[in-house]
Each structure stands twice: as C-alpha cells, then as structure tokens.
Structure 1
Amino acid sequence: MQIMSVPAVVGISFGVAIAVTFAKKNRERSKGQKAWLLLRGFLAALAALLLVNFGIFYYQNR
C-alpha cells in the first residue's frame, strides 16, 4: 500500500467538504453556516486522511 500525495489528500478533502455542505439535510442553513460547515468538513477530512497516510508510512517503515 502506498501513501497518497498531498494534492490527492487535499482534493479528496475538498470534495468531501463540498458533498457534506450541499447534502439535503444542510440545504436550509444560511450562507455563513454553510461556509463554517465547509471549513469544518474540509479540516476533518484532511485530518483523517493525513492520519491514515502517516499510519501507512509508519507501518511501512517499522
């Protein structure tokens, strides 16, 4: 298993954040709430993918 490149991690995180922001249950939110949700979704997905990446790196190099 290979680690993902940084652009791939950022792109996937951004895609997840967009999907979460425009999901059906978040349609009635204001623009400010959607912007905050986009940022939180991006950071959460980024953190999760970086954690997986470092886990793969650690597993390969032990």
Structure 2
Amino acid sequence: MAEIVNLRLARKAKRRAEGEAVATTNRAKFGATKAERTKLALETNRRDRTLDGAKRAD
C-alpha cells in the first residue's frame, strides 16, 4: 500500500524549503559587511587596473 500524504502539509513543507533557498541566496548576496564590500571593491579595482595595464596597444 502507498503511504498516505497530507497534501496541505506537503505544500507547506515545499514552500518552506523554497523560501529557505531564496533566503540562503539573499544572505550570500546582501549579507556582506561594509568592510567585506569595501575589500571586495578594492580587490576588483586593483585587478582591473592590473589587467588594463597589461593590455597591448593595437
């Protein structure tokens, strides 16, 4: 015999899991401290300057 599943509870569990996935993404995207964002911006700028300086002139 098949297992009886309460669809209301299954839908709620699915919605909770989807919400948690979105929350995890948002924490990674927006959860950085100001110091971390500043550090990342400085590293990005330094990398871009290094790459621009290494370009060949046509």
Per the normalisation by structure 1, the TM-score is 0.42
State which structure, 1 or 2, has the greater radius of gyration over its C-alpha atoms.
2
Per the normalisation by structure 2, the TM-score is 0.45
Structure with bigger RCO (C-alpha 8 Å, 6+ apart): 1
